[in-house]
Structures are given as structure tokens and as C-alpha cells.
Amino acid sequence: MEPRTHIHTVTRGTQIFPQSDDDVVCVVGGSPDPSGVLQSVDLEDLAGLIENLTTDLTGRADDELVRVLGCLEDLKNACSAGQARASVALRDLRLEGATTERERENAQRSAVSEIALARRESPHKARILLGLATVLTTELPETLAALSAGRISEWKATLVARETVFLDREHRLATDRELASGLDGWSDRELVVNARRIAYHLDPRAMVDHVARAESDRRVTLRPAPDCMSVLSALLPVQQGVAVYAALMRAVDSARACGDTRQRAQIMADTLVTRITGQESAPAVPVEVQVVITDEALLGDGDAPARLVGHGPIPAGVARALLTRPREGTGDGSTDAETRMWIRRLYAKPHTGQLVAMESRRRLFPSGLRAFIETRDANTCRTPWCSAPIAHIDHVTPARQGGPTSAVNGQGLCLHCNQAKEAPGWGARQEADGAVVLTTPTGRSYTTRPPPLPHELPPEEPDAGDPEVGDIEIGDPAAGDPDALRRAALQVQPHQREPAA
């Protein structure tokens, strides 16, 4: 019998649980505290619920589908509240018994790392989520109640916390109470405006001081973008941001007056690069930009994708263009004759991409071995879901336990992850295939492998019983079958590597 979805709206709690083998019941309501639900539902029931949520809803009435969407949204929001409570409880458990400041710091890092792994987030994001959870459970009870009831999203709760961060506990509680009645009816912008209005009315001096302190958070960040591009962002005081943009606009007017044919946005981007780097033209990059590419892809006609460190895989043709195209001008007639290219050889095992091992007799990783490991690990922390830049090269098996200083026993970690693994209960071991298995204080294990370097794969050999391309001739009945022709054509296509798990 086809599974059925039943939706019931009540005034207490947000619950969703299997009622029988064929039915899924979802109950959505407005209880401010669903902790009793979490205590009464077995973890196996929750696991079964996840399976039931994959039910195919094709053919259902539009009204039922809309109600399912709303039900699941409420459930998702209530789950966020449950995660907040669980995160605070886990942190408090780790802090029990910590008597010194160092022990408390280690316990806090340990909890953050455990939350990050459980939620498949980076430690940075987990730290933010734990901070939000702490504020919700101690200073924003009405917002937490709305989140628990599924009436607002985790993002709206974040906005409330963000816009009241400068208030003391008494004023924050008062703001929370005033916002409670409109939380589920306001848009994000309306919520921010009302939160700022109430907060300023309660403590205008605190808001003014907060704005003044915000300048200390100015920063520049870089993140990958599609199509081998990147996004460079600057968080600046408003007057400085306006001044930078105005200067770039003046550069556009000046270039256009001299007959520059580039588009306005292109001139602004190129001017930003040249003024910051000091080079004469934007394409002439004098700093080190690491491109990892096979010799066949660089010097021959290989098609194995290259890897741009800090960005990720790029097509072989794009990598060749980056490394070999002339550094001509950018529309203003300038050229660059000073750009230089260097090639550093790295030896990898054929058809696997695993680098040939290096080792040292010293306890500290020498610069050559450090660069080797950074390249192997794509300059990214090896902890699952972290993705922060490598700050430390560390032993998987500690040197104090006899672990060698070698590429096999080395891994790149960010500052947080390197310090977190020193907390009690954390451990790591090296597998024969280069994988590192990380074990947490709760006994959970997470496996991570370095990303494969660009390498050429052998051509796929057809099975003995498969027809060769030449077996299909003009006049053959199969020749008129498009599927047969497509299957035959696939026999000669380059073998494609499956995505890494």
C-alpha cells in the first residue's frame, strides 16, 4: 500500500514520527519547549523518520503539498532549536571538571570541533552556532520559543542575536520580549529595523559605542567563484568603502577619455589589481600562484585537469593558457616583459596521483617536506568539512609516541584543529592508503584523504564480450540504432574519474 502523509496542527509542540509502517504523522504547533519530545523519541525513531521523509509525493494534491512544505519548514526550524540546546549541553559537559583557564579553553575547542563534525560544518561555523545557541538559551528566551515552535528560522534567530549583541542582559531580555509578537510576521529587513529601533531606544549609547568598535572588524577575504574566477571582498568603514569605489570610478573616466575600449567593470577590476600589487598590468602577476599540472597536460595533449592552489580543479586547457599565454596589455597598449614562470617537479605514482613519500630525521618538518605536504593536501586543513588554510604541519602519530617526521605521517591542519586534537579523548591514526582516521571523545570516527593530484588515467579497456567500434558497419542493423552508436562511441572516450567520496 502506498505510504500516506498525515498532517495535524495542534497547539503543543512540533513532532514528527512514524505512526506505522505505512504512515508518517507530522504534528506542528506552538510549544515553547519541545525538549520533552526529544526525550520521548528514540534515536532509532528519528533515523526511521529520515527514511520516511524520502516518500515520493508525486500525484498528491497541491493543497497537501503546500501543507507538507510548511510542516517540514516548521520541523526544520524546531530541529535547529533542538540542536542549539544539544550544543550548549555538550559544551557544559566538556567544561565539567575543567579547573584552569587552559583546561577550559581545551574543553571549549573540543566541544566546538565535535559540534562541527556532527553538523558537517567547519569549526569556524560551529563556533558561531555555539555562540548563537548560548545567547538563545540564556538571553533570548522568546526568540528560542519561536524557533522551537517552528515559527521562525535559524537565520531570523541569528538576526535577533546580531542586532542586540551590544546590549546588556537586562536590555536584551526586554528587546526579546518586545520583538516576540512580530517575529513570525516580519521579513528579514523588517525584523532588523525593528530590532535596531527597540535596542536604540533602550540604550542609545551602547549602540553608538558598538558602531565605533565595528571598525576593528575590517578585513579582506578571498573565496573561489565559478569559471576559474575568485571573489575578493573588503569589509571597510563606510566612508573608506565609498572612497575606494569613487577612486575606481575616476579611473574608469580617465581610461575612457584616453580611448580605452574595456568595459567599465573590467577597468575597475584591473585598476584594483594594479594599484594593490603595484604591477603595470593586471594579467602580469608577479607573486607565486601555484598551479599543479601533469607533464603531459602541460607539455603535451593530456587532458587531466590541473589544480589551482586555493581554488580547486581547472581544465587542462585553462591551466596551459594561464602558464603559457603572452602577457599582453589590457587595452591600454601596455605589455609586461618581467613576468617569470618557475616549474617545481613533484613525483607521483602513475595512475593514482599519490605523491612519492619524503621523510626527515628531525622532529620538526623541514621547509621542503612542509611544501610537499601543503601541495598534497591542497593547502587545506585535513579535518573533514573544515576547509581552512593550513597553519601547521603536524604528526598524525605524535612524535612523542614515536611517530616519524614523514609525508605519510604528516598532515596539514588549521590552528583550531591542531589545538583541538590535544584535548582529552581525541586521537588519529594513519591508514595504509594515506587516509587519516580521526576519533572524537564520543568514539565517533571520521576518515579523510588528501585530494588526488592531477594525473593521467589509463584508457578504459573494453570487456572481452563488448563490441568494438569497428564491429558496427554501414548496413548493419545496429548502425541505425542511435543507442548502439552512442554505446560504441563511448568505447573510445577518455576514462572519467569518479568523484571522490
Q: Which pLDDT belongs to residue 446?
A: 95
Reply yes or no on whether the pLDDT at 472 is more than 70. no
What mean pLDDT comes out for the span 231-246? 93
With 90 as the cut, is the pLDDT of residue 128 above it?
Answer: yes
CA-to-CA distance for 480 and 174, rounded, in angstroms?
A: 77
| 3-class state of residue 405 by DSSP | strand
DSSP code at position 98: -
Give 437's strand partners: 429, 447
Check whether 483 has a pLDDT greater than 70.
no
What φ, ψ does residue 393 adopt, rounded to 5°?
Answer: -100, 120
Q: What is the mean pLDDT of the chain?
A: 77
Stronger pLDDT, 487 or 271, i.e. the higher one: 271
The backbone torsions φ and ψ at residue 309, rounded to the nearest 5 degrees and listed phi first, read -60, 130
Q: What is the pLDDT of residue 453?
A: 66
What is the separation of C-alpha 75 from the centre of its chain, rounded to a whole number of angstroms?
A: 24
- The Cα 220–Cα 213 span in angstroms is 17
pLDDT digits (tens, 9 = 90+) for 334-389: 444 444 555 555 555 555 555 555 544 555 787 778 888 888 888 889 999 998 98
pLDDT tens, residue by residue, 191-221: 999 999 999 999 999 988 888 888 888 999 8
Q: What is the pLDDT of residues 48-71, one digit of tens each?
A: 777 778 778 888 889 989 998 999
Looking at residues 95-110, what average pLDDT do you find? 92
Distance of CA 370 to the CA centre of its chain: 25
Q: Which pLDDT belongs to residue 367?
A: 79
Higher pLDDT: 130 or 371? It is 130
Highest mean pLDDT among 220-224, 331-335, 367-371, 411-415: 411-415
pTM for this predicted structure: 0.67
DSSP for 122-179? Answer: -HHHHHHHHHHHHHHHHT-HHHHHHHHTTSS-HHHHHHHHHHTTTS-HHHHHHHHHHH
* Residue 252 reports pLDDT greater than 50: yes
- Give residue 56's pLDDT: 81
Rounded to 10 degrees, the C-alpha dihedral 62/63/66/70 comes to -160
Q: CA 243, 311, 332 angle in degrees (round to 5)? A: 50
Q: 237 pLDDT exceeds 80? A: yes
